[in-house]
């Protein structure tokens, strides 16, 4: 059973920094894409950043040049370095792992989409 566990959230003042970490357990293969999403109170969950196993990255416009996503492929870990935090970054942050894995010689695939429980980030003004 695959589990994702986030850590590193907390309370920080505007302009400060936090580093989120996500550790996966129970997986026997490397995740194709790992990502961070966030959900603020009363809003829909949105993509913050993603990184492929080739280290191709994509960021939401609102966090470009402030946040950096990185990963350790062998350990299926993903990180989010958040700098110059703003009150509007306040949200619950979720780790996600998504992809498709070939599971036998016939080419059958297993599509997966795993989520962590989230870690809270609060930025005070």
**Residue 123 vs residues 11, 23, 35, 47, 89: alpha-carbon distances, Å:** 6, 24, 21, 18, 7
Q: Looking at the predicted structure, is the pLDDT value of residue 118 above 90? A: yes
107: confidence class by pLDDT, cuts 50, 70, 90: confident
Q: What is the pLDDT of residue 70?
A: 97
In DSSP terms, 109 is beta-bridged to 102
Distance CA 90, CA 120 (A): 8
By three-state DSSP, how is residue 25 classified?
A: strand
Distance CA 122, CA 32 (A): 30
29: confidence class by pLDDT, cuts 50, 70, 90: confident
Q: Percentage of the chain surpassing pLDDT 70?
A: 100
**Mean pLDDT, residues 26-48 taken together:** 94
Q: What is the pLDDT of residue 1?
A: 87
Q: Looking at the predicted structure, is the pLDDT value of residue 74 above 90? A: no
């Amino acid at each position: 059973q695959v589990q994702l566990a986030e850590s590193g959230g907390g309370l920080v003042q505007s302009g400060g920094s936090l580093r989120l970490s996500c550790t996966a357990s129970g997986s026997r293969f490397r995740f194709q894409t790992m990502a961070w999403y966030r959900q603020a109170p009363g809003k829909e969950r949105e993509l913050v950043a993603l990184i492929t196993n080739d280290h191709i990255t994509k960021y939401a416009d609102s966090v470009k040049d402030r946040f950096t996503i990185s990963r350790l492929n062998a350990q299926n870990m993903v990180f989010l370095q958040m700098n110059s935090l703003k009150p509007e970054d306040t949200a619950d942050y979720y780790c996600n792992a998504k992809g498709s894995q070939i599971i036998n010689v016939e080419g059958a695939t297993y599509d997966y989409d795993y989520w962590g429980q989230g870690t809270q980030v609060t930025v005070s003004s």
